[in-house]
Amino acid sequence: MNIEVKLTDTPKPKPTDESKLGFGSIFTDHMFIMEFNGDKGWEHARIEKFHDIAVSPAANVFHYGQEVFEGMKAYYNSGEIFIFRPDMNAKRINNSLQRLCMPKIDEEDFVEAVKKFVEVEKEWVPKSDGTTLYLRPFVIGLDSKLGVHPSSNYYFIIIAAPGGAYYARGIAPVSIWVEDEYVRAVRGGVGFTKTGGNYAASLLGQEKAEEHGCEQTLWLDGVERKYIEEVGSMNICFKIDGKIVTPMLNGSILPGVTRDSVITLCKDFGYEVEERRVSLDELMKAADSGKLEECFGTGTACVISPVGYLVNKDKKIVINEGKIGSLSQKLYDTLTGIQYNKLEDKHNWRVKVC
């Protein structure tokens, strides 16, 4: 793929205090953009100044939600920059695109676009411990017709935001509200895709969790509301009686790159891993009998997010005394060690950008 690079002549000052970066509110100098123009396919790949885009108020994305995205990070260590398993994101964006009747992107082109863009923005990758450059590739449908049809014109854009350490104050376990009224996704729907609509559908459940004093929502399956699916923007994993148990991919769960990496690492560590249906009932019983040893969310943003409390109606269960468990800590240390080029990478997950 030919990517034209047009550097801005008005670069912005970079944040000086990396301890105050936060998440996703300041953006780098440039953006990657390419266009899909009907029969001509994807063209005009370029990296240019970060700018607002003009699209018709009738554009498909505003009315019928043709939008998919990815979430990735770039990691700095000793003058070098790395990304993590970008081939997985390339495959996943194509699965999302296909489900929403949007045109696929060649997987090698996707990875090349991400790498080239990170290289151009290399000075924006923060250097302090635990900080990253967060990358947000996304595709939107542009056709301005109010009839419900797939667009013939699209943008594929990548923007980037320097992000502070997720655990600036140490890894603190989160509290989770088990949502039994609203559902996030249903089998046969778009739950397995990273599309904005899934997040819009989750906001009300998130508000409810906060009203109940919890930080995140645990979603149950859309049919029986009995089986555990996932948390807000994380997959969920349990250690029950020495075994690792995580809900199997059933079409309504997002297939996380971190989830897949955690399963592989747990097997490396010698654990038995079960991907299967896990009912809320089973979980409550395991908690009551003291067999629920650990519970943690997995996702690119947090890496591993230990769950200290689960609140189900008026019952609150405390996991591992509300503290991070030893497996959660080991997974966090191993994954970040691989991502930052501090540990051996025997599965070839790490990709050097420059």
Ligand X SMILES: *Cc1c(COP(=O)(O)O)cnc(C)c1O
Residues interacting with ligand X, by CB under 6 A? 71, 194, 230, 233-235, 254, 256-259, 298-300
Closest to 215 (Cα-Cα) out of 176, 255, 184, 256: 176
* Cβ closest to ligand X, residue 230 vs residue 282: 230
- Encoding tokens for residue 258? 């971190």
* Cβ closest to ligand X, residue 28 vs residue 217: 217
Query: In angstroms, what is the minimal distance from the CB of 191 to ligand X?
Result: 8
Query: In angstroms, what is the minimal distance from the CB of 255 to ligand X?
Result: 8
- Is 48 within 8 Å of 31 (Cβ atoms)? yes
**Which residue is it, tokens 């854009």?**
157
* Cβ closest to ligand X, residue 102 vs residue 262: 262
Cα–Cα distance, 115 to 134 (Å, whole number) = 13
- Is 331 within 8 Å of 304 (Cβ atoms)? yes
- Is 124 within 8 Å of 11 (Cβ atoms)? no
* Cβ closest to ligand X, residue 153 vs residue 233: 233
DSSP 23: S
Helix (H, G, I), strand (E, B), or coil: what is residue 96? Answer: helix
Tell me the β-bridge partners of 217: 177
Query: In angstroms, what is the minimal distance from the CB of 179 to ligand X?
Result: 14
Closest to 58 (Cα-Cα) out of 152, 149, 143: 143
Helix (H, G, I), strand (E, B), or coil: what is residue 106? Answer: coil
* Cβ closest to ligand X, residue 208 vs residue 291: 208
Query: In angstroms, what is the minimal distance from the CB of 35 to ligand X?
Result: 25
Closest to 155 (Cα-Cα) out of 3, 45, 2: 45
106: phi then psi, degrees, rounded to nearest 5: -55, 130
Query: In angstroms, what is the minimal distance from the CB of 271 to ligand X?
Result: 19
Query: In angstroms, what is the minimal distance from the CB of 209 to ligand X?
Result: 15
* Cβ closest to ligand X, residue 115 vs residue 194: 194
* Cβ closest to ligand X, residue 132 vs residue 233: 233
Query: In angstroms, what is the minimal distance from the CB of 185 to ligand X?
Result: 8
* Cβ closest to ligand X, residue 206 vs residue 298: 298
Amino acid in the structure at residue 158 = I
Cα–Cα distance, 180 to 315 (Å, whole number) = 13
- Is 60 within 8 Å of 100 (Cβ atoms)? no
Query: In angstroms, what is the minimal distance from the CB of 230 to ligand X?
Result: 5
Cα–Cα distance, 343 to 335 (Å, whole number) = 9
* Cβ closest to ligand X, residue 71 vs residue 205: 71
Count Cβ atoms below 10 Å from residue 56 Cβ, excluding itself: 11
Query: In angstroms, what is the minimal distance from the CB of 328 to ligand X?
Result: 15
Cα–Cα distance, 32 to 119 (Å, whole number) = 12
